[in-house]
Amino acid sequence: MKVVCVTGMPGSGKEEFVKVARELEFDIIRMGDLVRDEAEKRGLDMDDRSVGNLANEERELFGQGIWAVRTLPRIKGQRIIIDGIRGIAEIEVFRKAFKSDLLVISIEAGSDVRYERIVQRKRRDATLTKEQFTNRDERERRWGIEQALDEADFVIVNEGSLEEFQKEAERVLEEIVRM
């Protein structure tokens, strides 16, 4: 079994990494889907502020690893990608559950590159102003994303072309499969 946690700041390229993983027949679990599903159940607006506030409130009430704990029952199969790790507490939950079968991949890109990508993708919870983008980055830093990035077994820098990134993502995933 291989469980691969993917972390990175907003707009770094996690979604493109997941697409490559899916093509290589990894099962995909998105932690953000759990948060968005809960927001919908509660009738919240699906903007970044509302969804982010829900994620934060649940972390404050139940601990920083709550979304990982809620993800555990969904993990089945032999090759799994868990997308959207936001903090070290989440990695710790998964490390306790999967021990040496767990690997962490960090997708990294500079803030200007990430901001442009977020503006271009126009997802319904996407931040659109520079101030909102900066606030979102700060929120994720408070959740411990920088410590999660530091835990990476593999780091992929995503500042070139999409094709370059896809090739590197494929190379890393193939290396993981061979481990």
pLDDT in tens, 91-113: 999 999 999 999 999 999 999 99
Higher pLDDT, 177 or 129: 177
**Residue type (1 letter), 175:** E
* Residue range 34-90, pLDDT digits in tens: 999 999 999 999 887 899 899 999 999 999 999 999 999 999 999 999 998 999 999
pLDDT score, position 103: 97
Residue 126's CB: how many other CB atoms inside 10 A? 18
Full residue range of the structural domain in which residue 76 is found = 2-178
pLDDT of 138 above 70: yes
Instruction: Quote the pTM value.
Output: 0.90
In three-state form (DSSP H/G/I as H, E/B as E, the rest C), the secondary structure along 24-93 is CCCEEEEHHHHHHHHHHHCCCCCCHHHHHHHHHHHHHHHCCCHHHHHHHHHCCCCEEEEEEECCHHHHHH
Calculate ∠ Cα 65-80-133, nearest 5°: 55
pLDDT of 123 above 80: no
Residue-averaged pLDDT of the chain: 93
CB within 8 A of 173, min separation 6: which ones? 4, 20, 21, 24, 26
Count of domains observed in the chain: 1
For residue 3, how far is the Cα from the chain centroid? Answer: 13
Q: What CATH number did the domain enclosing 64 receive? A: 3.40.50.300
Judge whether 27 and 77 are in contact, CB under 8 Å: yes
